[in-house]
Chains A and B, each alone.
Chain A
Amino acid sequence: MTALVKLQLCGVRKAFGKKKVLQGVDLVIPQGKSMVVIGGSGTGKSVMIKCVLGLIHPDEGSILVDGQETVGLDFRGRDRMMKKFGMLFQGAALFDSMKVWENVAFALVNGRGMDRKDAYGVAVEKLKAVGLEEAVAHLYPAELSGGMQKRVGLARAIATNPEIIFFDEPTTGLDPIMADVINDLIVASTKDLGATTLSITHDMASVRKIADYVAMIYEGRIIWTGAVDDLDHSGNPYVDQFIHGRAEGPISFGVSAA
C-alpha cells in the first residue's frame, strides 16, 4: 500500500457505556482502492463506518481524509467533508415520502441547490447507470423490490460523484443473483468515478468481487489486513475460520442455550 492515502484511521476507540465497541482501530485505504472490512456481527463494523462519516463521535483516535483530521470538525468543516462522501446503507434508507428520482437527486437539490429539472436529468442518468429505467423514477420506494431499492440507494450514493463511497452490507437480504448484480454495479460505478471505497460485509462472494484490500475486525480491533489475493493464505486462524464459515476455531460467538 504505497499509493497516496485517502482515508486513515489511527487508534479509533468508541464505547457505549461499559461496552467497548472499538478498541483502537487502525486502517489505511489508498486512493482509488476498495477496502472491505469483514467480521462477525457486533464486532464494530457499522460503528467504525459511522465514526468515519461523523454520525458517531469517537472517544479517542484520529480519522484522516486526504490527510485532514475529521474528528472534532465544526459544522462547516463537516459539511465540506460530507460532500466528498457517498453512502449505501444496509436497508437502502430511502426516503419513503419521496419518489425514486427525488431520492436520487436529494443531495443535488437540497445540498447543492441544483434546479429540480436539471437534478431530474442527473437522477435518470444515475438510475440508468445502475440498470433502472426512467419509469422507475416516478415510483415510490415502497413500490420497489429489495434489489431495486439497493440499486436506487447505489444511484443516490453516486449521484454527486463522491470521492469516497461507503457500503454497509450491500448484499445483505438479497438473493445470490441479485447480490452479484449489485456487486457488479458497485465495481462498475466506483471504477467509473475513480472513487475510494470502504465496505463492510459478511458476504465472502461480495468480498472477492469488490475488494482490492481486505481487513478483518474482531473485538473492536483490526486483526489482519492484506490484499484480497492473500485472503486464502493469510496465516491468521481468525481469518481462516471466518472466510470458511467454520463453527470451530478461535472466534467464539458466546452463544449459549439459556
Chain B
Amino acid sequence: MKTDHLMTRESMEKGRALMVSLQDACQAIGSTILRLFEACGRLVIFMGHAVVNVFLPPFFPRLIVRQLVDIGYYSLPVVGMTALFTGMVLALQSYTGFTRFNAESAVAGVVVLSMTRELAPVLAGLMVAGRVGASIAAEIGTMRVTEQIDALSTLSVNPFKYLIAPRILAGTLTLPCLVLLGDIIGVFGGYMVSIYSLGFSPGRYLTQTWDILETMDVISGLVKAGAFGLIVALMGCYHGYNSQRGAQGVGAATTNAVVSSSILILIFNFILTQVFFS
C-alpha cells in the first residue's frame, strides 16, 4: 500500500517535470518566433522610413554622388573579374557536358542566358554584399557607437536623409549598371574561351548568342539587380544603424549585414525568377 502510494507520487512528479520541460520548450519556440516577427517589423518600418526619405527634401547631391562612386565605380573590378571568370568557366563546363550529347552549339546560348538571367545579378549581388554591405554596416555602426549619429540629430540633420537615403538610392541604381557590364564581360569571357580554347567560329558564336537572347532576359536580370542593390544597402544601413556594444557590436553588425543580405538575395532571386519565368 505504502509502495503504491510512493510510486504514484513519483510518477506524478515525473509528469509535472515533463510538463514544465514542455512548457519551457514551447516558451522558447514562442519567444523566438515573436523575436523574429519583431525583427521583421522593425526592418519593414526602417525600410519604409528610408524609402520615404529618398523622395523627400532636403536632398544631399554631393553625398549621393559619393555613394554612387563608392558603391558603383569601386565595385566594378570585383564584379568584372567575377563575371569574366564565371563566363569562362561556364563555357568550359557546358562544352564538357554538351559534347556527350553532340550539343556543343548550345554553349553560346547557355552562357548568355545563364549570365543575364541568373549568374551576373546573383554573383554581383553577393560580391557587392561582401564589399559594400560590410563597409556600410561598419561605417554607420562606428558612427552609432561614437555618438556621431546622435550628433547629426543635434545639428538639425535627419540621419535617415543624410546617411541612409543616399546609400539606399546609390545601391538600387548602381547594381543594375554593374550587372549590365557584368553581362557583357561574362559573355565576352565565354566567347574568349569558346573561340581560343574550344575552337568555335567567332561569327557563329556571336550569332547564336544574339539569336537566343531576348530583351526580357536582360531586363529580368536588371530588375533583380535593382532589388539586390536595395537589399545590400538596406541591410548594411539597418544593422549599422542598430549597432550596439562598442567594437563587438560593430563587428556583429557587419557580419549580420553580409549574412542577411546574402540570404535575402538568394531568397528574392527565387521569388523574382518565379515572377518572371514561371
- The interface of chain A, by Cβ under 8 A from chain B, is 50, 53-55, 75, 79, 82-83, 85-87, 89-91, 93-96, 106-107, 110-113, 156, 166
Residues on A with beta carbons closer than 8 Å to the beta carbon of B157? 106-107, 110-111
Known: A89-B150, A106-B155, A166-B154. 18 other contacts (CB 8 A): A50-B150, A53-B150, A54-B153, A55-B150, A55-B153, A82-B155, A86-B154, A89-B147, A91-B146, A91-B147, A93-B146, A93-B151, A94-B151, A95-B143, A95-B148, A95-B151, A110-B157, A111-B156
Complex contact A111–B153 (CB within 8 A): no
Once the chains are docked, how many angstroms separate the CA of A113 from the CA of B58?
10
| B85 CB–A CB distance under 8 Å | no
| B200 CB–A CB distance under 8 Å | no
Complex contact A83–B154 (CB within 8 A): no
Residues on A with beta carbons closer than 8 Å to the beta carbon of B60? 110
What are 8 A-B contacts defined by CB distance under 8 Å? A79-B156, A83-B156, A87-B151, A93-B147, A93-B150, A94-B148, A95-B151, A110-B155
Once the chains are docked, how many angstroms separate the CA of A75 from the CA of B153?
11
Residues on B with beta carbons closer than 8 Å to the beta carbon of A55? 150, 153-154
Complex contact B153–A89 (CB within 8 A): no
Residues on A with beta carbons closer than 8 Å to the beta carbon of B148? 93-96
| B162 CB–A CB distance under 8 Å | yes
Chain B residue at minimal CB-CB distance from A110: B157
Given A110-B60, A110-B162, residue A89 in contact with residue B156 (CB < 8 A): no
Residues on A with beta carbons closer than 8 Å to the beta carbon of B150? 50, 53, 55, 89, 93
Residues on A with beta carbons closer than 8 Å to the beta carbon of B58? 110, 113
Residues on B with beta carbons closer than 8 Å to the beta carbon of A54? 153
Residues on B with beta carbons closer than 8 Å to the beta carbon of A87? 151, 154
Once the chains are docked, how many angstroms separate the CA of A87 from the CA of B149?
13
> For residues 141 through 175 of chain B, which have their beta carbon under 8 Å from a beta carbon of chain A?
143, 146-148, 150-151, 153-158, 162
What's the count of A-B pairs with C-beta under 8 Å? 54
Complex contact A53–B154 (CB within 8 A): yes
Complex contact B154–A82 (CB within 8 A): yes
Q: Please give the distance in Å from A56's CB to the nearest CB on chain B.
A: 10
Residues on A with beta carbons closer than 8 Å to the beta carbon of B155? 82, 106-107, 110-111, 156
Chain A residue at minimal CB-CB distance from B153: A55
Residues on A with beta carbons closer than 8 Å to the beta carbon of B146? 91, 93
Once the chains are docked, how many angstroms separate the CA of A228 from the CA of B111?
79
Once the chains are docked, how many angstroms separate the CA of A176 from the CA of B100?
82
Chain B residue at minimal CB-CB distance from A156: B155
Q: Please give the distance in Å from A162's CB to the nearest CB on chain B.
A: 9
Complex contact A85–B147 (CB within 8 A): no
Complex contact A107–B156 (CB within 8 A): yes
Q: Please give the distance in Å from A168's CB to the nearest CB on chain B.
A: 9
Residues on A with beta carbons closer than 8 Å to the beta carbon of B158? 75, 79
Complex contact B153–A53 (CB within 8 A): yes
Q: Please give the distance in Å from A96's CB to the nearest CB on chain B.
A: 8
Residues on B with beta carbons closer than 8 Å to the beta carbon of A110? 58, 60, 155, 157, 162
Once the chains are docked, how many angstroms separate the CA of A110 from the CA of B46?
23
Chain B residue at minimal CB-CB distance from A87: B154
Once the chains are docked, how many angstroms separate the CA of A111 from the CA of B153?
10
> For residues 96 through 148 of chain B, which have their beta carbon under 8 Å from a beta carbon of chain A?
143, 146-148
Complex contact A85–B154 (CB within 8 A): yes
Chain B residue at minimal CB-CB distance from A107: B155
Once the chains are docked, how many angstroms separate the CA of A212 from the CA of B157?
31
Residues on B with beta carbons closer than 8 Å to the beta carbon of A94? 148, 151
Once the chains are docked, how many angstroms separate the CA of A75 from the CA of B154?
13
Residues on B with beta carbons closer than 8 Å to the beta carbon of A112? 156
Chain B residue at minimal CB-CB distance from A111: B156
Question: Which of B150, B155, B158 counts the most chain A CB atoms within 10 A?
Answer: B155
Q: Please give the distance in Å from A11's CB to the nearest CB on chain B.
A: 24
Given A79-B156, A82-B156, residue A89 in contact with residue B162 (CB < 8 A): no
